[in-house]
Structure 1
Amino acid sequence: MQPIETVGGGPLIPRPERTPGALRAACTVVAPDLLPAYDRVKDRALTEAVEHDSLKPVHAYLSHWAVLIEIERHPVMAKAYRRAEHLARIAATADEARGHLATASSLYREAAASVRRAP
């Protein structure tokens, strides 16, 4: 597999900062169909942060969405990730589903590593 920076000729947009506003703005460009989910997860993270008096839910949501946006910034990777998730959902056997989930997981980990390496 090629490094994420070279897959599909480069990213659609620059990598956003890991802030709620920047990630949401990036989502509106690269994955507008995910905006309702983004807003739900953000609201849930904020509610949990208040309920538990902890910023851990906010950090978790920001980290997860930074990775999802990283995937969506790269069209070829995004297509492969969505395809693997879809095939896992419709797989005829558990082994087949595991194979597709392994592909999606590998792509997610690659994107997460790229986000972690970012300056």
Structure 2
Amino acid sequence: MSETAADGHGPLTPQPKTTAEDLRAALVQIAPNQVATFDAERTAAVEAARSQVDAAPMRRFLRRWALTVAIERVPARAARLSELEARAAQVEELAEGRAIAAEVAAIHAEAAADACIDGRSAG
């Protein structure tokens, strides 16, 4: 493991290809607590894609999880996002809410760039 990975500011693993198999394998390594959710959402996306005869549900699923992996593979980034999400639930002042939203957006943009996905909503 590199020094930057050891201090939490660097990636634990390279960003995988945006395939269900590669993303799942990365999750097993860096966020095993999210594998069950990944599997359930994958099943739902496959079913939706089949019933709609449209690949869009799978594209959304892959984009969402590529972003999640990009965030989780850098522990400091994942921790900061968790802190911001917890603080956002308690914020009372508009200026602070805006600052939190801006930092969350910056984290998502950085992760999206790492994952080579566009900035559209992953949800």
SS at match of 2:42: helix
Aligned counterpart, 1:17? 17
**Within 2, Cα distance between the matches of 1:62 and 1:98?**
28
Match of 2:43 in 1: 43
Q: Structure 2 CA distance, aligned partners of 1:65 and 1:45?
A: 12
Q: Alpha-carbon deviations, 1:9-31, whole Å to 9, x = none?
A: 42101211211111111111111
Count of residue correspondences: 112
SS in 2 for 1:71: helix
Gaps of 5+ in 1: 1-6
Q: In 2, distance between residues paired with 1:94 and 1:32?
A: 36
Displacement of 1:37: 2.0
Identify the residue that residue 88 of structure 1 maps to in structure 2: 88
1:27 matched to 2:17? The reply is no
CA distance in 2, matches of 1:36, 1:84: 24
Partners of 1:34 and 1:92 in 2: CA distance: 30
Question: Which residue identity is paired with 1:37?
Answer: T
Distance 1:113 1:85, change over 3 A: same
User: What residue identity is the alignment partner of 2:56?
Assistant: K
Residues 10 and 58 (structure 1), Cα distance of their counterparts in 2 relative to 1, 3 Å cut: same
Aligned to 1:78: 78
TM-score, normalized by length of structure 1? Answer: 0.80
Whole-angstrom distance in 1 between the partners of 2:28 and 2:90: 28
Which whole-Å CA distance do the structure 2 matches of 1:65 and 1:8 have between them? 21
Deviation at 1:101, TM superposition (A): 3.0
Any unmatched runs of 5+ in structure 2?
Answer: 1-6, 118-123
Determine what percentage of the aligned residue pairs are the same residue: 31
